[in-house]
Amino acid sequence: MNRHLCSAVFLAVALLAQSTAHAQATPVVQGPEAVADWFTAGQAFIEQGKSLHDNNRRAKNVVLFVGDGMGISTITAARILEGQLKNKPGEENRLSFDRFPYTALSKTYSWDQQTSDSAPTMTAMATGYKAREGMLSVNHTTARGECNAAVVESKKLRSVLEHAAEMGKSTGIVSTARITHATPAALYAHTAMRDWEADSNLPVTDINTGAACRGADGAVKDIARQMIEVSPQVRKSLKVVLGGGRTYFMPSSLNDPEYPKDKGRRLDGRDLTQDWVTSRASFGRASYAWNKAQFDAFEPANNSYLLGLFEPSHVQYEADRANDPAGEPSLTEMTDKALRVLLKDPKGFFLHVEGGRIDHAHHAGNASRALTDTIEFSNAIQRTLDVLKTSGALEDTLIIVTADHSHTFTIAGYPSRGNHILGLVREVPAKDGAPLKNSLDANGRPFTTLAYTNGPGARPNGRPDLTNVDTTHVDFLQEATVPLAAETHAGEDVAIYARGPKAHLVRGSMEQNWIFHVMMEALK
C-alpha cells in the first residue's frame, strides 16, 4: 500500500472513530431548538416591541382577572406543566397572558400587614386604597369588628364595579370561590369582617360597644345580603354572578339541592337566590342556576340576569370538576357566558374573573391542583381574548391579569430541562451520554422540584424516601419545612399583565392600589 493511500485510510478511520465517539456522547437532555432559533426569536421580540404604540383611547370595557394566590413561581410552574401536557419540555411554553405586551410588579402589603390576606389586597385593587387585614372596601380608620351599619357606611370605599355601574355600564363577577368570599365580595360589599358571609356568621354583639349585632336594626348586613341589596344603580348593572357559596344565600330550613345533608346558613329565613330573581325582574328576565343543565339552558340573547351558584361552598377544583354530582361549568365556560351577557350593553361593561381555588390548593400544600387551576385560569383568559376579538370589542377592552398575593411555593434543585415539574429532581449528567439519575439530599434521599416553606406537607419524623412515591399524583402533598395546618401566603411582589386602552400605564414597580387608578383612567 502506498504512502498516500495509507494516509487516506488512517484519516477515514480517525474520522469514523471521532464520529462514533460523538454519537455516543449525545446529551441525554436536549431542547427542541436549533442554534439559530434563539437569535431568530430574540429578533422577533425586538420587532414586536417596535410595533407597540400607546393606546390612549377610552376603554369601553374593562376585565380584571385575579388569580388568587398566583405568585410568579405558580405562573412558572403552571406554564411548564401546561407545556408538558402538550408533550413538550414545557419551559418554552407560554400561558395566554404571557403574551400581553405590558407587565409590572405589584407590592401586595396592606395598611397593617407585611404579608397580606385577600381582603385588603382585593380592596386595594377594587377601590384604590390600601386597607386593613380582613376588611372589605372600607378605609383603614374602621375599627376591627365594627358592626354599626351607619359607621361602616361612613367608612366605605366605592369600588370600580360601583363606579362602572354609575357610568351606566353592565357589570359581572365570576369566581371559582364562594361569591361571598373576600376577592369577589370586595367589589360589592362593605364590611369590617370578611368572614360575615351569611347572617349566621355575624356576632351576636359588637365586640367594641357590646351593642346588639346579629339581626338587630342598624347592624351591618352580611355579605350575601349586601350582594342582593346593593344600590339601585348596581342592582340594575350587575347582570351576571357565577361561582360558589350557595348555602350562604339559603335559609337554614332548606336542604341543599345537590347535597341533601347540607342545609342553608341563613337565620333570617330568606332565600336570597329567589330574591335575586324578583329584585331584578323589573330590569329584565332574571334566572338562578345551581347545576350545569340550568347553566347551559340560560341563553344570553333572551335573558338579562343570571345568578349561578354551583356548590354549597367553593366550586370544585378543575382536577375534580368532572366528578361533580350535578355537573358544574368550568371557569372558561362561566367566563364565556358572562361575556356574552355583558357584550349586549352598548355602553360597555366591567367584568371581574377570579381563579379562586389556586389559593386554596396552595393552602392545602397541593401543587397539582393549584397548577391545574392556574392552567384553567389561563384558558379563561384565552377564551376572553377570542370572544372579544370575534365580537370586535378587543381593542376597546382593557384587560388586566394579576394576583392578590403569592404563596410560599418554591421551584428548586437543579432539575434538567423537561423534567416533570411535579416529579423528583434529576440533574443534567456530568458527562454527555450518561443517564439521568435522581438528585439526592445529604441523607441520600431524592426530593421534588416543588415545595413549600410551610404547610401540611411537613413530615414531623423527617424526610421520607420518595424513590417509589408517585409525586405527580393529584393528591400528593409537596414537602414543607415548617409544619402548619395550612400553608400561608407569601409577601413578595406579584406580576401584573395588561393589554388594551391605557395598558401602557401598567409599568415598573407599582403599589397594588394603583391598579384601580389605571382601570379608572381607562374608563373615564
Distance (Å, rounded) from C-alpha 401 to C-alpha 404? 10
Which residues make Cβ contacts (< 8 Å) with residue 308, sequence separation at least 6? 240, 241, 242, 243, 288, 289, 290, 294, 295, 298, 329, 334
Whole-number Å distance between alpha carbons of 211 and 213: 6
Report the C-alpha gap between 273 and 244 in whole angstroms.
Answer: 12
DSSP 72-139: HHHHHHHHHHHHHHTTS-STT---GGGG-SEEEEEE---SS-SS--HHHHHHHHHHSS---TT-BSB-
| Residue 118 designated active-site | yes
Catalytic entry in 106, 118, 287, 406? 118
Angstrom distance (rounded) from CA 288 to CA 294: 8
Nearest to 174, CA basis, from 183, 164, 165, 163: 183
Alpha helices in 403-507 (DSSP H): none
Residue 519: count of CB within 10 angstroms of its CB: 26
Distance between CA 325 and CA 321 in Å, rounded? 9
Q: Cell numbers of 445, please?
A: 434521599
The residue behind cell 356548590 is 311
- Collect all residues with Cβ–Cβ distance below 8 Å to 85 and sequence separation of at least 6: 375
Maximal CA-CA distance, the chain = 114
Q: How far is CA 371 from CA 179, 319, 362, 422, in A?
A: 22, 10, 9, 10
The three-class DSSP label of residue 152 is helix
Catalytic residues, which ones?
Answer: 118
